[in-house]
């Protein structure tokens, strides 16, 4: 099984950006945790981070061929991007939306996700473990096309 882990704007600053909300782990730390878990689940991971909406859309389109699932933390684009929603809807592979913080317990504008309705599921509020839970969900519900 092949899974793409995608991260949107400002997630390259994890560990430095608002550690009271997002924790002290860097994106590289989270990716290392995912690699360890993926090895136990026999999953091949690839990673992508961009601060640019169009680049994220392009990467989702690429995932249609060669990926069995996507873990997506779209960051702030979660609450604004119809383009990302349309891309998730169009690619025809399972996508799990993740957020490190509990977006429902934050500012009102973060309560609306444009992505949730087109994703396999949404996991939020568990810090870096949100990614691990998403990986396990994909492993348990996605047939391998490798």
Which residues are the active-site residues? 22, 99
Quick one: which of 115, 66, 112, 123 has its CA closest to 90? Answer: 115
139, 39, 29, 107: CA torsion to nearest 10:
0
115 closest CA partner among 67, 63, 71, 145: 71
Give how far Cα 110 sits from Cα of 14, 59, 80, 124, 139, Å.
Answer: 18, 24, 10, 12, 28
């Amino acid at each position: 099984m092949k899974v793409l882990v995608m991260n949107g704007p400002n997630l390259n600053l994890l560990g430095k950006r608002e550690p009271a909300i997002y924790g002290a782990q860097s994106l590289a730390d989270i990716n290392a945790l995912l690699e360890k878990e993926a090895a136990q689940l026999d999953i091949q991971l690839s990673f992508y981070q961009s601060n640019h909406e169009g680049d994220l859309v392009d990467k989702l389109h690429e995932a249609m061929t060669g990926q069995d699932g996507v873990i997506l933390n779209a960051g702030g684009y979660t609450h604004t991007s119809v383009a990302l929603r349309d891309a998730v809807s169009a690619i025809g592979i399972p996508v799990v939306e993740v957020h490190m913080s509990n977006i429902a317990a934050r500012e009102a504008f973060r309560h609306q996700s444009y992505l949730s309705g087109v994703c396999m599921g949404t996991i939020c509020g568990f810090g870096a473990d949100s990614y691990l839970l998403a990986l396990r969900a994909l492993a348990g519900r996605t047939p391998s096309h490798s």
